[in-house]
Structures are given as structure tokens and as C-alpha cells.
């Protein structure tokens, strides 16, 4: 029996660099010894959502990209250099967390680094990236999980299938998400996302029509067209826009939670 007691309702969030690929148990024993208690759960922070997007099973070796092996692919921390983990190493880590009585969670964000550390899945699906208005114009930012692929199918349906595969294949107890998988802060909804896709979703959901001038630009995602749509919607249809986003976020997480709960796993979502 372990000399350390389990502390309920305690979840520790640790990037992969906080473990040790070279040790047989991947550093799980040392981690628990240093903490002095056994947390109920550990969110293994893989950072980049390509751990889900690029998943193709665990029956063969796949080297994980640097930005799965450390936050933003950082080369080192105070204790070690970033290690080159494989999918099989990660599966072993998850197995040892389970053996230690810890619920391992898959921790991810929807951040894009513009392929700084590896060729991102997003580079082939740029229609899913956020268009955000800033003082300089309109920038292309990280993942917008409410968007649709260019063929009209929803990212959320793809993600629901893939994340269930990942949780099951590795043996994770559940999913833990942060940035871009949770609603933007209060100020964010005023500046994103007035792309063709999200505007059309809004119009279909609310049965609203925009002025003729804006409807002529409804298939255009130029910076100018996006700013025109934002200026009209935010200052004339703000309540409807906010209610639409609330409905979409609720629908997204209801769908994802239902799918994950169906396979006996849990979900944790950062609230900011």
C-alpha cells in the first residue's frame, strides 16, 4: 500500500516535460513522492490539440511533436531538457498513473503556433482558424471550435470522434481543455468571429437578414467585409449575437460531453 494518501478533488496540471521518459514508470513515482500525496487526477498537459487531430492509433510508434512534449515546445525547464516522447511512451505514462491510483486526463489547448514546431493539422484546415479584429485590421488566430470545414461539416463532430479514440487508445480517464476550447472572455465576443462561416451560422439560427450591402459581401472573408459585418452586428444585433454564441457553446459541449460520457470518461473545462 502506498505511504501517501489520496487527496480527493485535487487535480494537478503538468506538462509532459514534468515527467521523465527515461524512467521505467515515466517519473510517476518520483512525482508522487515529491508532492507527498496522491492527487485524484493528473491532467497530462500535451498542450497542442494535434495529439487528437493527428492520432492514428497506438499499435505502432509515432514520435510526438515538440509542442506535445513541452508547453509551446519549450526546450527545457529547471530540471531537464525537453525529451522526445513517442505515443507508446505516453501510453506507458498513462498506464503508470492508473496503477498509482491517479486518474489521468488528456490536457490540451486549441492554440496554433503557425507550424513553428511541427506541420500543424491546421495548416491544411485554415478555415477553422479564428478571424479576430484588432487595431491593425483582422488577424488569423488559433482554432475556433464552433466553425465548419470547407465541406460544411462541423469541427465538433470530427473532434468528438477523434477525442474518444484518443481517450480509449491511451487509457485516459477523461479530457481537460483550456484556451480556445472554452468561451472567450467577455471582451472577446465583440471582436470574433465575423467570418463568412460564423455569420452564416448566425443568420440561419436566428432567421435574421442583414442589410443588402452586407448581404452582397456575405461570401467574402476580406478584412474589410469582416469589419463591416462586425460593425453592423455588434452595434445593431448584439443581444442576438451573444445569445447565438451562448447557444452554440452550450451545444458544442453538450455534444462532446455526451459522447465522452458514453464511453465512461469525464470532462473538465477551464472557465476562462
| 102 Cβ contact partners less than 8 Å away, ≥ 6 residues apart | 28, 32, 38, 39, 40, 41, 42
The model's pLDDT over 100-124, given as tens digits with 9 standing for 90+, comes to 999 999 999 999 999 999 999 999 9
The model's pLDDT over 24-49, given as tens digits with 9 standing for 90+, comes to 999 999 999 999 999 999 999 999 99
The model's pLDDT over 149-174, given as tens digits with 9 standing for 90+, comes to 999 999 999 999 999 999 999 999 99
Say whether 27 sits in a helix, a strand or coil.
coil
Decide if pLDDT at 258 tops 70: yes
CB 233 within 8 A of CB 214: no
The model's pLDDT over 64-93, given as tens digits with 9 standing for 90+, comes to 999 999 999 999 999 999 999 999 999 999
**What strands lie across the sheet with 103-109, from one edge to the other?**
6-15, 38-48, 103-109, 174-177, 266-269
pTM of the predicted model over 0.85: yes
Q: CA separation (Å) from 179 to 104, 202, 254?
A: 20, 23, 18
Say whether 127 sits in a helix, a strand or coil.
helix
Identify the pLDDT of residue 188.
Answer: 80
Query: Which 8-state DSSP code applies to residue 237?
Result: S
Say whether 31 sits in a helix, a strand or coil.
helix
Q: Please report, for the chain, the start and end positions of each structural domain, with discontinuous segments joined by +.
A: 11-269
| 241 Cβ contact partners less than 8 Å away, ≥ 6 residues apart | 189, 202, 233, 234
User: Which single residue is written with the C-alpha cell 492509433?
Assistant: 57
CA distance 111 to 49: 8
Amino acid at each position: 500500500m502506498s505511504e501517501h494518501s489520496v487527496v480527493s478533488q485535487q487535480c494537478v496540471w503538468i506538462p509532459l516535460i514534468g515527467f521523465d521518459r527515461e524512467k521505467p514508470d515515466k517519473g510517476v513515482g518520483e512525482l508522487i513522492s515529491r508532492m507527498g500525496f496522491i492527487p485524484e487526477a493528473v491532467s497530462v498537459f500535451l498542450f497542442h490539440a494535434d495529439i487528437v487531430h493527428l492520432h492514428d492509433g497506438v499499435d505502432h510508434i509515432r514520435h510526438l511533436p515538440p509542442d506535445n512534449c513541452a508547453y509551446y515546445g519549450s526546450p527545457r525547464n529547471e530540471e531537464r531538457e525537453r525529451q522526445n516522447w513517442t505515443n507508446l511512451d505516453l501510453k506507458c505514462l498513462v498506464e503508470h498513473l492508473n496503477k498509482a491510483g491517479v486518474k489521468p486526463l488528456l490536457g490540451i489547448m486549441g492554440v496554433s503556433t503557425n507550424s513553428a514546431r511541427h506541420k500543424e493539422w491546421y495548416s491544411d484546415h485554415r478555415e477553422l482558424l479564428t478571424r479576430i479584429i484588432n487595431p491593425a485590421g483582422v488577424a488569423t488566430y488559433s482554432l475556433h471550435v464552433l466553425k465548419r470545414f470547407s465541406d460544411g461539416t462541423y469541427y465538433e463532430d470530427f473532434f468528438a470522434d477523434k477525442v474518444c479514440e484518443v481517450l480509449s487508445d491511451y487509457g485516459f480517464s477523461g479530457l481537460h481543455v483550456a484556451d480556445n476550447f472554452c468561451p472567450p472572455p467577455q471582451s472577446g465576443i465583440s471582436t470574433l468571429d465575423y467570418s463568412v462561416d460564423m455569420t452564416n451560422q448566425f443568420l440561419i439560427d436566428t432567421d435574421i437578414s442583414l442589410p443588402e450591402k452586407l448581404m452582397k459581401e456575405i461570401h467574402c472573408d476580406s478584412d474589410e467585409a469582416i469589419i463591416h459585418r462586425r460593425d453592423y452586428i455588434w452595434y445593431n444585433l448584439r443581444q442576438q449575437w451573444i445569445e447565438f454564441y451562448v447557444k452554440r457553446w452550450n451545444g458544442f459541449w453538450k455534444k462532446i460531453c455526451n459522447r465522452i460520457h458514453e464511453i465512461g470518461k469525464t470532462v473538465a473545462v477551464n472557465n476562462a
